[in-house]
Amino acid sequence: MAVLTVPAHLRWGDMDIFKHINNVAYVGYLEDARVSLLASAGFAPDLDGFGQLVVRHEIDYVKPLVYQAEPIEMTVWIESMGNSSYVIAYSMHDGETEYLRAKTTMVCMDLERGLPGRIPAQLRETYSQLMRD
């Protein structure tokens, strides 16, 4: 699989006074794409004692995006994976123009101890399917 492209549905209310999509709205688009990516690989959030947190977003706003009724494409994949964290990368585009490049760093947590923990083997296998070739 490696890369997944999902539709990002823009909302009229996401525009700001400058008549383009406000920067705050993009974090919601990233969340939707991230959930779609993990769900497409069969991520099961019911692993005992395991959790994961967003610890960082990096967003490059390449070009202003104005509201349109048709969804725009969000391509998403796992860029890298460490022992307890992994990075999800995104590109928002319409085929010709890229509007956004972003990365989200996720940290796996040992919920019992409240500390970062190793990515469970089952998830490591799942996540490795989502790495870009």
CATH code for the part of the protein at 4-128: 3.10.129.10
Average confidence (pLDDT) over 21-46: 86
What is the DSSP-derived secondary structure letter of residue 14? Answer: G
CB 85 within 8 A of CB 55: yes
Enumerate the β-bridge partners of residue 76: 4, 90
User: What's the residue count for the chain?
Assistant: 133
pLDDT at 10: 93
In the chain, what are the domain boundaries?
A: 4-128
List, for residues 61-100, the tens digit of each pLDDT value.
999 999 999 999 999 999 999 999 999 999 999 988 999 9
Cβ–Cβ contacts within 10 Å for residue 124, how many?
Answer: 14
Evaluate if residue 38 carries a pLDDT over 60: yes
Compute the distance between CA of residue 16 and CA of residue 116 in angstroms, rounded to an integer.
37
pTM: 0.90
Q: Dihedrals φ, ψ of 50, to 5°?
A: -115, 140
